[in-house]
Amino acid sequence: MDHKSSVLVISLIAFLAGCGATGISRCDFPKQFVFGTASSAYQYEGGAKQGGRKPSIWDKFSHTFGKILDGSNGDVAEDQYNRYQEDILLMKELGIDAYRFSISWCRIFPDGNTTQVNAEGVNHYNGFINALLANNIEPYVTLYHWDLPQALEDSIGGWLSSEIVNRFAAYADACFNAFGDRIKYWITFNEPQSFATSGYDLGIHAPGRCSILLCSKGNSATEPYTVAHNVLLSHAAAVRIYRTKYKARQGGTIGITLNSFWYEPLSNSTNNIAAAQRALDFELGWFLDPIVYGDYPAVMRDYVGHRLPMFTEEQRSSLLLSIDFLGLNHYTTNFASALPPPLIKNWTDYFQDSRVLRTASRGGVSIGRRAASIWLYDVPWGFRKLVSYVTHRYNQLPIIITENGMDQSSFLSRSSALHDSHRIDFHSNYLSNLSAAIRDGADVRGYFVWSMLDNWEWSAGFTSRFGLYYVDYRDNLKRCPKASAAWFTNFLNQTCAYR
- Catalogue the active-site residues: 191, 403
- Contact between 68 and 459 (Cβ < 8 Å): yes
Contacts of 172 (CB under 8 A, 6+ apart): 143, 188, 237, 238, 241, 242
Among candidate residues 377, 258, 411, the one with its CA nearest the CA of residue 322: 258
Sequential DSSP letters for 366-381: ESSEE-SSTT-EE-HH
Tell me the residue length of the chain: 499
First to last CA, the chain: 36
> Which residues are within 8 A (CB) of 350 and not within 5 positions of it... i.e. 6 or more apart?
196, 197, 201, 220, 224, 225, 282
Q: Give CB contacts under 8 A, 24+ apart, made by 272-281.
A: 272/336, 272/337, 272/338, 274/338, 275/336, 275/337, 275/338, 275/339, 275/355, 275/356, 275/357, 276/336, 276/356, 278/303, 278/336, 278/354, 278/355, 278/356, 279/334, 279/336, 279/354, 279/356, 279/358, 280/389
Cα-flanking dihedrals φ and ψ of residue 333, to 5°?
-130, 145
Helix, strand, coil abundance in the chain, percent, nearest 5: 45, 15, 40
Angstrom distance (rounded) from CA 146 to CA 201:
15
Integer Cα distance of 415 and 464 in angstroms: 16
CA nearest to 66, candidates 224, 195, 208, 210: 208
